[in-house]
Amino acid sequence: MIGRLKGKVEAIGEQICIIDVGGVGYEVQASARALRDMAIGADVVLTIDTHVREDAIRLYGFKSEVERTWFRTLQNVQGVGAKVALAILGVLSPQELANAIALGNWAAVEQTPGVGKKIAQRIVAELKDKAPALTVAGLDAPVTVNGKAGADAGAPAQDTAVAEAISALSNLGYLPAQASQAVAAACKELGAEADTAKLIRRGLKELAA
């Protein structure tokens, strides 16, 4: 099974890219967010999810381990296949998806083309308790291009603060789901520039309310 690819971007399509690894071109399906960060001829590293079927082997590429984890987890929801899961991750970053689920904001998920109200509500309902663990566990480096982080490289700094705040609140005895909801609410109020300390303080106020 292929779990990671490191090579040069040979071609970029609407939903796929071709990664040249030692002279072999691998066709990889990727989210719109991942594809936007790529450039033909640039070096790239992708985390891969391999799907083996009788008639084909399909590779799905992601910017980080947490994105791949969300891809797999989304498909546990009835009515969500690989295509829909990839589309959702093309609209929402892992942290945005985690926040939407923690806050019960199914409308954010519904923004994805091909995702209706019922599917969005089902995703939020079924994954509510899984969002915190996935968010904290998946703080990996984003896809790199020519040794540098991609266009979404600004996200990991806040992702780290969010994960640290959730972890801190969990260590104080709050359930992961409670901690995640409190921090998500804090993020919504304080904005992207909030650091760990501010998120913890605001999160504690949310939990005490």
Q: Give the DSSP letter string of 108-155.
A: HHHTSTT--HHHHHHHHHHHTTTHHHHHHHT--PPPEETTEE-GGGGH
Task: Write the CATH number of the domain with boundaries 66-136.
Answer: 1.10.150.20
As a whole number of angstroms, the distance between CA 7 and CA 180 comes to: 36
Q: For residues 40-66, give the mean pLDDT.
A: 91
Would the pLDDT of 139 be above 50? no
Q: Give the pLDDT of residue 150.
A: 46
Q: Give the DSSP letter string of 23-89.
A: TEEEEEEE-HHHHHT--TT-EEEEEEEEEE-SS-EEEEEESSHHHHHHHHHHTTSTT--HHHHHHHH
Q: Give the pLDDT of residue 177.
A: 74
Give the architecture-level CATH label for domain 153-208: Orthogonal Bundle (1.10)
- Whether 153-208 and 4-62 are alike in CATH topology: the answer is no
User: DSSP code of 195?
Assistant: -
Backbone Cα Rg of the chain:
18
Q: For residue 75, name the pLDDT band (cuts at 50, 70, 90).
A: very high
Percent of all residues in the chain with a pLDDT value above 90, rounded to a whole number: 44
Contact 26, 38 (CB under 8 A): no
Closest CA to 35 of 8, 16, 19: 16
Closest CA to 184 of 202, 160, 208, 157: 202
Structural tokens at position 140: 């990996």
Query: Of the given ranges (34-48, 70-84, 128-142), which has the lowest mean pLDDT?
Result: 128-142
Contact 38, 12 (CB under 8 A): yes
CATH 2.40.50.140 is held by the domain 4-62 = yes
- Structural domain boundaries of the chain? 4-62, 66-136, 153-208
Q: Give the pLDDT of residue 131.
A: 63
Q: For residue 124, name the pLDDT band (cuts at 50, 70, 90).
A: very high
Percent of all residues in the chain with a pLDDT value above 70, rounded to a whole number: 86
As a whole number of angstroms, the distance between CA 76 and CA 119 comes to: 12
Residue 123 — φ and ψ, nearest 5°? Answer: -60, -50
What does the pLDDT look like over 153-170, one tens digit per residue? 444 566 678 778 888 888
Q: For residue 137, name the pLDDT band (cuts at 50, 70, 90).
A: very low
Would the pLDDT of 149 be above 60? no
